[in-house]
Every structure is written in structure tokens, then in C-alpha cells.
Chain A
């Protein structure tokens, strides 16, 4: 194993880590606010990817604009889902699982019927390759890392510095106390759903040029995101960040030095290990 190979794997791992972070943060945010695990989250990523295919790939819209459009569209879809469906299943874990699973089926099948089941390519937005430290990384992947950092950083600032952000954090900690504080929890829920879904869509837009897209692409990242969220602790954003790094690097190193299947199995094993040792996750609130 050469140093170059190590750095290459690290670089790939970093990109995967940020993609998983985007998905996991959305999942954990939605859970923190609404106590609902959104099994349809992967499908929202898929819709973001298809938005990129059509707006950027087919209709030539600027990549940044596409990113924004995708995030808006999927975000608003999320609000519709939240108000129309999820609202009825507040703090009903079994029911919400079933309902979001049903949603998964609906969205994935609808996408298959509308877009067709075949793989579709999304063109790169950034051409060229960067080389440093023996690492070869496409500009597209580099951009993905940079934008992900920007989005996550933006979210951090929003949650820490703005009044609405603090209200959201308060709601995550204690729903009832938030209501007593005069926080409009209903609005926060919709906003949280919007943000979570928008992040998933962003991940989809980033994944587009790097991986082929198809209506079934939502499930594998969702499973990885579940691992991230459980390791980090459901409801914790720092946990999602750390968990994302862990799973991203496991997958990168596992795929490069063993094989992709073992990487998935290893992620799963780590997941079980964490749950056994610390059931609420690394950052989760012990209840």
C-alpha cells in the first residue's frame, strides 16, 4: 500500500462522507423535530438527482441554479408530505415507519413509471482533474466536497445564530417546552422537513454527475445514512457528521482494500457494535 493509494482512498472517503452527512443530517433533523424516521428519504435524494438530470443535463440550466431549484422543489414536496401525511403520525414510531415505507414504494414506483427504469447519466459540471499529494481527484468530486461543506456550514450558522434556528434546536430537545416558549412548533416542523429534504436533494444533485442515476438509487445511500444516524445518535447533528466520516471512510477503505460487499458488512457490524455498547449512539441522548 503506497502513500498515494492511502491519500486517494482518503479523498474518496471524504467525498462519500460528506454525501452521507447530507443525507444523515436531514434524517436526524427530521427525527429530532418530529420523532419520525423517514424511510422515504432516499427517494427524495433520487428526485433531486433526477432534477439535476432534467434541469442541468437536458435543459442546460446552470448547475448552481439547478442545485437551488432541486432543493426548493424537493423541499416543498417535503412540506407537502409533512403536512398531508406525517403530521398525523407524530410520536407514533410504528405507524410512521409503515407510512414512510409506503411512501417509499409510491415515490420509487412513480419515478420508475415516469422516468423509466434505466440508468441515466448526468454530465459533469466541473471538468478537469486535480492532482496533489499523489491523489487524482476530479474537479466534480472536489466541488462536491466544497459545496457539501458550505451547505453544512450554512446549516450550522442557521441553527446557532438565527432565532428560527435556535427555535428548531429547542424543538428538537423538548417539544412541549418549545411550545411553552411560544415557538410555533407546526411551522418549525415544516421548516425542518424542508431543510432535511433539501439536503437530501442536494446530495442527489451532487451524486448525479458522479454515479449513474436511476429510480432505485435511493435505497443504498439510505441504508448507509441509517448506519450513520444510528452510530451518531438519532437526533444529533454532530453525531451525523462524525458518523458520516466513520461510514464514509469505512466504505472507501473497505471497497479499495477488501471488496464493496465487505465494506457494507463492516459498516453493518460497526452499527451493531455501537448499538450494543452505547444504544443511544455516540451523541444520542440517553433516555
Chain B
């Protein structure tokens, strides 16, 4: 098979998940839990972008799907009286359906057109939410959103959503589900089709792979995650408004995935974590945040295009370069590396990764 998950790697994952599950036992400080919850949302969004970008597409409309999920969930709960536990998956599915319809039209074109159109789509959605006061509450949005219904296991326990702890576990589960799906995709035939399309879609087509269908699928999966995140977001903040779902949000999701690295699902996880938590320490300099974000985005693209997860490889190749005389450093970005991934999708591939569909 392609990659053998070595024991140390599996162990590391297990430890990470264990630690994350135990966090609320170590601290119940709402502020820390809040940051981790935001990180969880970020990771979910980043994983969605990861799936989309690994078919060679750059969507700038991720926030729109988050918003679609959020508003769908809120409206179903407040107007149709459904339970949050039903509207959460429905939010994801709703976003996915919109993505399928939209993607079917738009993913046929050259990648750059796709990026521009998703950019415009995000803006149009936001405008609709802003102007349609009756349904979406307009600029002021909708407030007093009901919290998720308590989970009751008769006779055993009842979980009320009146503190951050249950929310924390919920987003942890959502993010974990997303990570598991992404990981499962990597090894499946579908995942291989994605990689093939990302690297050389003409060749993939010649093998009988229906490029459009797979691109739409990836787009829908990404939108599904965004929809879930949006629904969680709304019921966590108990408030939803168009200002959450702007182009900036899309760019943030993009940044998490790109800066983390697109070669491995751990990339968006790291990106989502780091880029949600670090800005929290910059609270003092509010207003500077987008500037730093943009600057980091640019710097990463210039200096570390394969993201944070390529750092170990870069460091080791630097060392190799110093050791061998004349610095025969292996700064190649394609080719076997130290990560346990076969094909390495990249954002800045030398050849034009964006082909016509």
C-alpha cells in the first residue's frame, strides 16, 4: 500500500486526541475553553478548504457556506421548531446541496474563474443576508438563538448546554469527525482521484475519471464541513449576523489550510490551531490583525510555500545541505520526503495546476 502509518505517528495522534478530551478536566476557565472552541471551528473550516484545495481548486467562498449552514440551522430551529441535533447535520447537508448546484456550473471553468466566482458568490450571499430583513434579520442579524437541546441518557446523565464545556466537546467531536473523514478520503479511491485531478487532470480524465464530478464532490464535502461549523457557530454565540460570513472569513479559512500545509491532513489542523490561538495574544493590537494575517500569508507563500508541516523537511534538508560540501541541498518540493504521504499536492506547483475542467 501507499503509506504505512508508523507506530510512533499513530501513538502521537492518540495522545493528542486524549489530551484534547481531557482539557476540560484541567481547566474550566471559560476564556481558555473559548479559544479552544474557536480553534475547533477554525480546524473544521480548514479541513474543508483542505479537501477542496486538494483537487486544485481555490474557493474564496467558504464563508458563504458557513453562513448558509448557520442560517439554515437557525431558521429551522426558530421557525420550524426542529431540534438542533437535527438541524446541525441538515445545515451541513444544506450547504453541500448548494455547493453541488453551484459547483456543477462553476467547476467546469478554469480554476482562476472559479476563484473569482466563489469570491463574488460570497459577497452576493452576504448582501442577501444583509438586505433581506424579514427572513435573515438584516444587518443586525438574528439573536436569542436557542441553545442545543440537552442530551439525556435516561437514568444516567443529562448534559445541559449552559457552560462552555459541552460546547467544547461538541466542536471537538465535529472537528474529529471531519478529520477522520478527510483521513479516510486520503486512502480511498476517491482520495486518489482527487490527487490525480490535482496533479494532472488531463491524465486523470484519460483514465476515465469524471473530473467534474470529483471536483463537485470535493467542493460539497468542504461545504458540508463549513455548514456544520456555521451551525455550531450560531448556536454557540446565540447570535448570527452577516458580518461573521464575510470574505475575510473565507480568507482566514484559506490561510489556515495554506499556512498549515496541504500535503497532509495534519496541516489544516495545525494551521487552524495556530492561527486562531496566536491572534488571541495580539488582542492588544486590535486593528492590526488583518495586516499581520495578510503579511504572514505573503511571507509563507514566499518562504514556506508548503506550509508549516514542511518545516521539518526544510530544516533537515538545510542540515543536509550544510553537511555536504557545496550544499547539494535537497530543496526539491516534489519527490519523496520525510512525511508519510505519497503524492504531495502543492499550492504553488511549477506547472499550472489549474486546468480547464
* Contact partners of B124 in chain A: CB under 8 A: 264-265, 268
The one of B251, B288, B298, B356 in contact with A113, judged by C-beta atoms closer than 8 angstroms, is: B288
* Contact partners of B131 in chain A: CB under 8 A: 261
* Cβ of B86 under 8 Å from chain A: no
* Contact partners of A198 in chain B: CB under 8 A: none
> Which residues, 230 to 255 on A, are CB-close (under 8 Å) to B?
230, 234
* Contact partners of B16 in chain A: CB under 8 A: none
Contact present for B251 and A230 (CB under 8 Å): no
Contact present for B287 and A101 (CB under 8 Å): no
CB-defined interface of A15-33 with B at 8 Å, one 1/0 digit per residue?
A: 0000000000000000000
Contact segment of B105-113, B151-159, B170-178: B105-113
- A255 and B306 CA atoms in complex are apart in Å by 45
> Which residues, 307 to 350 on B, are CB-close (under 8 Å) to A?
347-350
A114 to chain B, nearest CB (A): 11
Q: Name the residue in B120, B123, B247 with the highest tally of chain A Cβ atoms < 10 Å from its Cβ.
A: B120
Report the count of interface residues on B (CB-CB < 8 A). Answer: 50
* Cβ of A173 under 8 Å from chain B: no
Contact present for A279 and B254 (CB under 8 Å): no
The one of B112, B117, B293, B305 in contact with A97, judged by C-beta atoms closer than 8 angstroms, is: B112
The one of A92, A103, A265, A272 in contact with B117, judged by C-beta atoms closer than 8 angstroms, is: A272
The one of B106, B291, B350 in contact with A106, judged by C-beta atoms closer than 8 angstroms, is: B291
* Contact partners of A180 in chain B: CB under 8 A: none
Q: Interface on chain A toward B: helix, strand, loop, or mixed SS? A: helix
- A37 and B105 CA atoms in complex are apart in Å by 21
* Cβ of A102 under 8 Å from chain B: yes
* Cβ of B127 under 8 Å from chain A: yes
Contact present for B297 and A97 (CB under 8 Å): no
- A94 and B114 CA atoms in complex are apart in Å by 11
Given contacts A99-B297, A102-B294, contact A279 B352 (CB under 8 A): no
Contact segment of A83-91, A130-138, A146-154, A199-207: A83-91
* Contact partners of A223 in chain B: CB under 8 A: 119-120, 123
- Select from chain A the residue with minimum beta-carbon distance to B301: A99
Q: Name the residue in A93, A106, A226, A287 with the highest tally of chain B Cβ atoms < 10 Å from its Cβ.
A: A93
* Contact partners of A37 in chain B: CB under 8 A: 112, 115-116
Contact present for B295 and A276 (CB under 8 Å): no
* Contact partners of B301 in chain A: CB under 8 A: 89, 95, 98-99, 102
* Cβ of B30 under 8 Å from chain A: no
Contact present for B112 and A101 (CB under 8 Å): no
* Contact partners of A265 in chain B: CB under 8 A: 124, 127-128
> Which residues, 49 to 103 on A, are CB-close (under 8 Å) to B?
85, 88-89, 91-95, 97-99, 101-103
Contact present for B58 and A105 (CB under 8 Å): no
* Contact partners of B110 in chain A: CB under 8 A: 279
* Contact partners of B117 in chain A: CB under 8 A: 230, 271-272, 275
* Contact partners of B182 in chain A: CB under 8 A: none
* Contact partners of B348 in chain A: CB under 8 A: 89, 92, 94-95
Q: Interface on chain B toward A: helix, strand, loop, or mixed SS? A: helix
* Cβ of A12 under 8 Å from chain B: no
* Cβ of A109 under 8 Å from chain B: yes
The one of A99, A109, A275, A276 in contact with B290, judged by C-beta atoms closer than 8 angstroms, is: A109
A130 to chain B, nearest CB (A): 33
* Cβ of A219 under 8 Å from chain B: yes
* Cβ of A179 under 8 Å from chain B: no
Given contacts A109-B290, A110-B291, contact A94 B347 (CB under 8 A): yes
- Select from chain A the residue with minimum beta-carbon distance to B110: A279
* Cβ of A112 under 8 Å from chain B: yes
Given contacts A98-B301, A106-B298, A234-B112, contact A279 B287 (CB under 8 A): no
Contact present for B60 and A92 (CB under 8 Å): no
Contact present for B287 and A113 (CB under 8 Å): yes
* Contact partners of B248 in chain A: CB under 8 A: 105
Contact present for A108 and B290 (CB under 8 Å): yes
* Cβ of A227 under 8 Å from chain B: yes
- A268 and B108 CA atoms in complex are apart in Å by 17
* Contact partners of A89 in chain B: CB under 8 A: 301, 348
18 contacts between A and B (CB under 8 A): A88-B302, A91-B352, A92-B348, A94-B111, A95-B301, A95-B347, A99-B301, A101-B251, A101-B254, A102-B296, A105-B248, A109-B294, A113-B288, A230-B117, A261-B127, A265-B128, A279-B113, A287-B356
**Residue positions of A touching B, CB distance < 8 A:** 37, 39, 85, 88-89, 91-95, 97-99, 101-106, 108-110, 112-113, 219, 223, 226-227, 230, 234, 261, 264-265, 268, 271-272, 275-276, 279, 287
User: Apart from A89-B301, A94-B349, A113-B288, what 12 extra A-B contacts exist at CB < 8 Å?
Assistant: A94-B53, A95-B301, A95-B347, A101-B251, A102-B301, A105-B251, A106-B295, A223-B120, A226-B120, A234-B113, A268-B120, A272-B106
Q: 10 closest A-B pairs (Cβ-Cβ)?
A: A105-B294, A102-B297, A109-B291, A95-B348, A106-B294, A102-B294, A102-B298, A109-B290, A105-B290, A261-B131
